[in-house]
Amino acid sequence: MISLVDQMQAALPSMLADLETLVTCESPSSDLSAVATSAAVVAALGTERLGVAPEYVVVDGVNHLRWRLGDGPSRVLVLAHHDTVWPIGSLATHPFVVEDGVLRGPGSFDMKTGLVMAFHALAALPSAAGVTLLVTGDEELGSPSSRALIEEEAAGCVAALVLEASAEGALKLERKGVSNYEIRIVGRASHAGLEPELGVNASIEAAHQILAVSNLGDPSVGTTVTPTLLTSGTTRNTVPAVGSFLIDVRARSVAEQLRVDAALHALKPVLPEATLEVIGGPNRPPLERKMSEDLYRQASDLAASLGLPPLRDISVGGGSDGNFTAGVGTPTLDGLGAVGGGAHADDEHVVVSEIAPRTALLATLLAHLLDRP
């Protein structure tokens, strides 16, 4: 009897054709019209592969797609996104191409290959009843319109499988939580040459605060607190009256996220008469390793049963929608998608030889989870 890996290998030409269909439909997150067009293409392709049309869930003008397979309650959430960071016109400089065993094109690695894998893995199951496939359209923006939908679909499931690309083949067992902040500073303008002493310099206050903020990180537990974009002032000869800077925070635990959040909201101005406003907070909870380890062990056993090389795992700083599924208490395994590299970069690519075996692993893991009591 033909093995599942061989079955997926035989389906590889069809998978590559599906990938060309998706990659050549450009879908930058910030372009709602392009995302809507992409959603229609994804819906048509998914309907062809799964034999059932999705529901459109439109939130704040963003098109998300949901396939609830079977009539019973959902047991497993499969999570993907169809938006990319690449602007319209990127195909002119980064065309879809398969050459020397490598597939290239905007969004191919992050994460349209994972979406095609999901379609083919689900289609290979004798029954996919109990699976919800959710394909969102704003992940690259931080999932502002889809977060509640993701959390709602994940709640109560035995597992969430995230088809984000792997890290050089490794599954992502741990992702840092992400928090975003803006600190706004109000001082007082004056002439920088005639009466600088009458001003309250927002740039100097920003410098004090940036130094304080940068000391909130804790490398021993992987917490980074990074001031990023800074703006202040109007002209060379005016004491700046207003300024602001942005902060990127990454933390491995909820406790660390909350510690930094409290410290930032407790900041006080250094200069007399300056005022501070701290805006923002946690955007994504951490995907902690404890939420992934059991699923990873199961996947490792199944990979061995398929004759695949041993799985590897990694911890990463970047967030995904898997952070949200883990945040509501659903065991989550991330990085099940493409093997390759260059996410968001000119060298974005997918290793073609890895697509079929990883799709076979995904299908086997899905069947195993659906069979569990």
What are the tokens at 27? 């879908």
What integer is the mean pLDDT of 30-38?
98
Stated pTM of the model: 0.89
Question: Percentage of the chain with pLDDT > 70?
Answer: 100
Structurally, at CATH architecture level, domain 4-176+286-371 sits in: 3-Layer(aba) Sandwich (3.40)
pLDDT at position 340 is: 97
DSSP for 50-61 reads HSSPPEEEEETT
Which residues 6+ apart lie within 8 Å of 290 measured at CB?
none
pLDDT at position 1 is: 64
Cα separation, 287 vs 270, in Å, equals 36
Preceding omega of 111 cis (within 30 degrees of 0): yes
What integer is the mean pLDDT of 27-54?
98
What are the tokens at 111? 């994460």
pLDDT digits (tens, 9 = 90+) for 297-318: 999 999 999 999 999 999 998 8
pLDDT digits (tens, 9 = 90+) for 126-165: 999 999 999 999 999 999 999 999 999 999 999 999 999 9
What integer is the mean pLDDT of 314-329?
94
- Listed by start position, the domains of the chain span 4-176+286-371, 177-284
Q: Does the domain at residues 177-284 carry the CATH identifier 3.30.70.360? A: yes
Select from 10, 36, 14, 9 the least CA-distant residue to 25: 36
pLDDT at position 318 is: 86
What integer is the mean pLDDT of 167-174?
96
Dihedral through CA 100, CA 101, CA 107, CA 109, nearest 10? -140
pLDDT digits (tens, 9 = 90+) for 178-191: 999 999 999 999 99
pLDDT at position 297 is: 98
- Residue 271, pLDDT > 80, answer yes
Question: Using an 8 Å Cβ cutoff, are 274 and 186 in contact?
Answer: yes
What integer is the mean pLDDT of 236-243?
98
pLDDT at position 372 is: 81
Cα separation, 179 vs 206, in Å, equals 20
Same fold, 4-176+286-371 and 177-284: no
DSSP for 327-353 reads HTT--EEB--S--EE-TTSTT-EEEGG
How high is the mean pLDDT of the chain?
A: 97
pLDDT tier at 2 (50, 70, 90 boundaries)? Answer: confident
